[in-house]
Amino acid sequence: MANVKVLVAKPGLDGHDRGAKVVARALRDAGFEVIYTGIRLTPEQIAEAALQDDVNVVALSLLSGAHNTLFPKVVELLKEKGLNDVLVIGGGVIPDADIPGLKAAGIAEVFTPGTPTSKIVDFINANVK
């Protein structure tokens, strides 16, 4: 699919962005158009950026444990802005037990430590609308 636009974003106060940057770069190398927001964004700022940049995918990264609060909030705000077709995925230090809840809240897939970046690329290609 041509011109898939991905917003890689870090909600919350967590500054660990090695993973986010590596994923962003791998997505770019895979041919996607990638925007990286930088760290410490509120869910509002992320949803606004997704709207402004007209992205197809929002990839959230969080290692601080605040994912159960902040990931669903991003999805909610995207919907409020009418961005119902945006594919939202997440990654970070996320216990398996939290994944069903996140999926129910609209996170299409959660990628935990050790995931090859190629798997994220494949998932986006298969699921982007």
The one among 40, 79, 81, 103 contacting another protein by CB under 8 A: 40
What's the min distance (Å) between Cβ of 85 and another protein?
A: 25
What's the min distance (Å) between Cβ of 27 and another protein?
A: 10
Strands 57-62 and 87-92: what pairing?
Answer: parallel
64 binds another protein (CB under 8 A): yes
42 binds another protein (CB under 8 A): yes
The helix/strand/coil state of 96 is: helix
The helix/strand/coil state of 22 is: helix
117 binds another protein (CB under 8 A): yes
Q: Which amino acid is at 84?
A: N
28 binds another protein (CB under 8 A): yes
37 binds another protein (CB under 8 A): yes
Shorter beta-carbon distance to another protein: residue 42 or 51: 42
> Cβ-count burial of 28 within 10 angstroms (0-12 exposed, 13-18 middle, 19+ buried)?
middle
Token pair recorded at residue 48: 């606004």
